[in-house]
Amino acid sequence: MRLELEPRVLRSRWATAAISAGSMLLGLVAGAAVLALAGVNPVEAYAAILRASILGGAYAISDTLVKATPLLLCGLGCAVAFRARLWNVGAEGQLLLGAWAATGVASFWLPAGTPAPLMLTAMALAGCLAGALWAGIAGWLKASLEVNEVITSLMLVYVAQRLLAFFIFGRWSEAGFPLTPVFPRSAWLPRLSDLDSFSGLTVHLGLAVALAACLGVWLAMSRSIWGFEIRLLGDSPSAARYAGLPVARRIVGTMLVAGALAGLAGMLEVAGVGHRLQDRFSPGYGFIAIAVAWLGRLHPVGVLASALVFSALLVGAKEVQPAGIAQMLQGAVMLVAVAGDFLVRYRVRLVTGEVRAT
Amino acid sequence: VSAPGAIGFVENLLAAGVSRGTPILLAAVGELLAERSGVLNLGVEGMMLLGAAVGYAVAHATGCLALGFFAAMAATALLSSAHAFVSVTLGGDQVVSGLGLGFFGAGLAAVVGADLVGVTGVPRAPAVEVELLARIPIVGPALFAQNAVVYVGIGVAALAWAYLYRTRWGLKLRAVGDNPTAADAQGVRVGLLRHLHVAAGGALAGLGGASLSLAITPGWVDGMTAGIGWIAVGLVIFGGWDPLRVALGAYLFGAIRRLPLDLQGLDGLPFLKNPSLGYFLDMLPYLFTIAVLVVAGLSRFRKRFAAPAALGTAFVRGERGR
């Protein structure tokens, strides 16, 4: 009796989805083991996470959806880049820059009396542009000099954090506090709690924007020539080159799109949640997005599903001490998911009886 | 021993650079060993954090410094073996597996370190001064009046160099990283060698982290590595996968991390005391990392210092590399 491995020629979509879900569960089980070792009761921890994020009623679900919005957008950005095998791990920096530019537009660069539609559009454009440029630096260096984009995009996160600190603590600080003045009302995204019957529900229009972006990315990746070229570039760079694809331009373009999505997430976060730029307003959305994109198998629908799961984990983990547990679980889930890829690539069979001659 | 004026400034900067560069050096040489075997490990930052937390926790609990360092190395060697299992044994994507490993390590470090913030009475690695030699102007304090871990770092870099270029095992390692198919045909056990070097690389990252929390900047603060694990990954590229060049690069980075502090302490340049400038001076190490990668990316450097040819690809006997 022995195990036999057989490479799969056709990879079933359902098997892939099942393995993704399975690795999510297995990752959580692995996380539970570590929690137990660290002296935390895993059952209580997971129950607290579920209560705070889903089972706690409308408010809990609303919280989860609010946090899912930036995760979805950043996750889409990462997914587009990863599909082209561009390892954009700097979505966090792009999100920060997007939030910074949107804040500049709302509080400093446009008059407070600007009508809301114009104001919000300008903020969104500024956010996208800033995020795109930030990601574009890493893309351009990759395309022109083959500089490793993992390192550059990540280093730019640290640079972005310090740039924002300069504005939040110094230049734009309100009375020395680590936050900027509150935006004029025209720069606030409408949210459910604006209606009387939904008071307390903080879901904002950004969720609809993110869902639209999800649809847009799906159309672009699966139905457009650009999307085909990106996928070709990811699957076989040499084939893309022989086919005459302008590889350098596609690399830069992909990074611009990824950065714009993350920058938009930053804009929506300040316009829909904080209504000002605050220190540490992002709990690391851009980093979690890496796991979101990978668990979603780089497919927009999958990214949507995993954004919801990770958002629940993020909302719930606030209730669990010590801090760091959420991040640990994310890592465990990612590792198990990559390990699970093995089952997507190979069929494992238990062979009994005589060993075949090969 | 401190000389006045410009010489004193350079002397201090060099000494601080070597000291602050040591954790980066240890982690970078570890990453170099893994990459030479063909495995990219992007979890360095998380492993350093875990090493720092575990080292500090164990030294605190037992009062024994050596046990702290040992536990840190064991924990990170074990952790990086998970990456080796996923990416070598199962042939999974090295980039994502490494990132996952990094998240896991950073999160676990926060869990381990939750009760360690602000504890006192933890032993600290001693400073060791070599009499007379430490009095050599400019380089004396940098090389001969340092914490014990600095000498360990120099030893690790030298040993790694000798191992890579002067031993049969080093030759096999380089063959595995450049052409695993050929190495396999020669009877070299590709998978085993990769496992061992990923684990050794993890142990060195843990040692680097522990050298932070137990020697260079004693204490535990969540996120205390502040990106130096990533700088270490960048340095391996900048150093052309050569341990000695990587070590020099690490010291250079140590100096750059220290430079803002030293500059703001100068009396003659009042504009440097502007607090806003601090934010921008803090960007220097990160911007400099990008700058050195750009230099390493220029074609005439790229030809001389090439990456291991099979870096990042899984080896499956009888299958062409992906």
CA separation for the pair B186, A114 (Å, rounded): 73
> pLDDT tens digits, residue range A118-129?
999 999 999 999
Contact between A147 and B294 using a beta-carbon 8 Å cutoff:
yes
CA separation for the pair A230, A224 (Å, rounded): 10
Mean pLDDT, range A42-68, rounded to an integer = 88
Mean pLDDT, range B223-243, rounded to an integer = 91
Strands (E), chain B: 127-129, 145-147
Residue in A154, A163, A335 closest to B101 by CB: A335
Whether the pLDDT of residue A83 is over 50: the answer is yes
Whether the pLDDT of residue B212 is over 80: the answer is yes
Q: Which residues of A touch B275 (CB under 8 A)?
A: 170
Mean pLDDT, range A260-277, rounded to an integer = 95
Would you state the pLDDT for residue B320?
56
Would you state the pLDDT for residue B67?
96
Whole-model pTM?
A: 0.89
CA separation for the pair B7, A84 (Å, rounded): 51
> pLDDT tens digits, residue range A203-250?
999 999 999 999 999 999 999 999 999 999 999 888 999 998 999 999
Question: What residues of chain B, 229 to 288, have a C-beta less than 8 Å from chain A?
Answer: 230-231, 233-234, 237, 275-276, 279-280, 282-283, 286-287
The count of other CB atoms within 10 Å of the CB of residue B166 is 9
Contact between A156 and B290 using a beta-carbon 8 Å cutoff:
yes
Q: Percentage of chain A with pLDDT > 90?
A: 54
Burial label, A202 (beta-carbon count in 10 A; 0-12, 13-18, 19+):
middle
Of the candidates A160, A168, A143, A280, the one whose C-alpha atom is nearest the C-alpha of residue B287 is A160
Q: Which residue of A has its CA nearest to B292?
A: A147
Residue written as tokens 């036999």? A4
Whether the pLDDT of residue B139 is over 60: the answer is yes
Whether the pLDDT of residue A8 is over 80: the answer is no
Confidence of residue B111 (pLDDT cuts 50, 70, 90): confident
Q: Percentage of chain B with pLDDT > 90?
A: 57
Interface test with B, best of A87, A142, A155 (most B CBs within 10 A): A155
Q: How far from B159 is each of B30, B194, B243, CA to CA, in Å?
A: 12, 19, 9
> pLDDT tens digits, residue range A310-355?
899 888 877 777 778 888 888 888 888 888 888 877 878 777 766 5
Confidence of residue A180 (pLDDT cuts 50, 70, 90): very high
Confidence of residue A356 (pLDDT cuts 50, 70, 90): low
Note whether A4 and A352 are within 8 A (CB).
Answer: no
Note whether A266 and A289 are within 8 A (CB).
Answer: no
Note whether A84 and A153 are within 8 A (CB).
Answer: no
**pLDDT: which is higher, B244 or A4:** B244
Average pLDDT, chain B: 89
Confidence of residue A265 (pLDDT cuts 50, 70, 90): very high
CA separation for the pair B322, B310 (Å, rounded): 10
Q: Which residues of A touch B110 (CB under 8 A)?
A: 322-325, 327-328
End-to-end CA, chain A: 16
Note whether A175 and A37 are within 8 A (CB).
Answer: no
Whether the pLDDT of residue A199 is over 80: the answer is no
Contact between B293 and A151 using a beta-carbon 8 Å cutoff:
yes
Contact between A89 and B99 using a beta-carbon 8 Å cutoff:
yes
CA separation for the pair A279, B59 (Å, rounded): 34
Contact between A291 and B102 using a beta-carbon 8 Å cutoff:
no
One-letter amino acid of B309: A
Q: Which residue of A has its CA nearest to B291?
A: A152
Confidence of residue A1 (pLDDT cuts 50, 70, 90): low
DSSP line for A164-226: HHIIIIIIT-BTTBSBPPPPPGGGSPPBGGGSGGGTT---BTHHHHHHHHHHHHHHHHHHSHH
Whether the pLDDT of residue B151 is over 90: the answer is yes
Strands (E), chain A: 2-7, 346-351
Residue in B83, B91, B276 closest to A166 by CB: B276
A296-300, B164-168, B218-222: which is most confident: B164-168
Confidence of residue B303 (pLDDT cuts 50, 70, 90): low
CA separation for the pair B306, B304 (Å, rounded): 6
Note whether B241 and B83 are within 8 A (CB).
Answer: no
**pLDDT: which is higher, A194 or B26:** B26
Contact between B104 and A335 using a beta-carbon 8 Å cutoff:
yes
CA separation for the pair A27, A327 (Å, rounded): 12
Confidence of residue B206 (pLDDT cuts 50, 70, 90): very high
Tokens of B16: 């601080």
CA separation for the pair B233, B311 (Å, rounded): 13
Mean pLDDT, range B62-72, rounded to an integer = 95
Would you state the pLDDT for residue A28?
84
β-sheet bridge partners, residue A5: A348
Whether the pLDDT of residue B117 is over 50: the answer is yes
Phi, psi dihedrals of residue A309, rounded to the nearest 5°: -65, -50
Average pLDDT, chain A: 89
CA separation for the pair B196, B173 (Å, rounded): 10
Question: Phi-psi bin for B197: left (phi > 0), alpha (psi -120 to 50), beta?
Answer: alpha
CA separation for the pair B149, B25 (Å, rounded): 11
A274-288, B85-99, B191-205, B251-265, range with the lowest pLDDT: B251-265
Residue in A141, A163, A324 closest to B111 by CB: A324
Note whether A226 and A249 are within 8 A (CB).
Answer: no
Contact between B104 and A338 using a beta-carbon 8 Å cutoff:
no
Of the candidates A76, A84, A86, the one whose C-alpha atom is nearest the C-alpha of residue A300 is A76
Mean pLDDT, range B216-221, rounded to an integer = 91
Q: How far from A84 is each of A77, A126, A144, A214, CA to CA, in Å?
A: 11, 25, 16, 17
Would you state the pLDDT for residue A318?
76
Whether the pLDDT of residue B1 is over 50: the answer is no
Tokens of B170: 């080093």
Confidence of residue B322 (pLDDT cuts 50, 70, 90): very low
Tokens of A102: 């949107």
Whether the pLDDT of residue A96 is over 80: the answer is yes
**pLDDT: which is higher, A49 or B46:** B46
One-letter amino acid of A19: I
Would you state the pLDDT for residue A3?
75
Confidence of residue B171 (pLDDT cuts 50, 70, 90): very high
Contact between B100 and A338 using a beta-carbon 8 Å cutoff:
yes
Question: Phi-psi bin for B118: left (phi > 0), alpha (psi -120 to 50), beta?
Answer: left
Q: Which residues of B touch A40 (CB under 8 A)?
A: 111
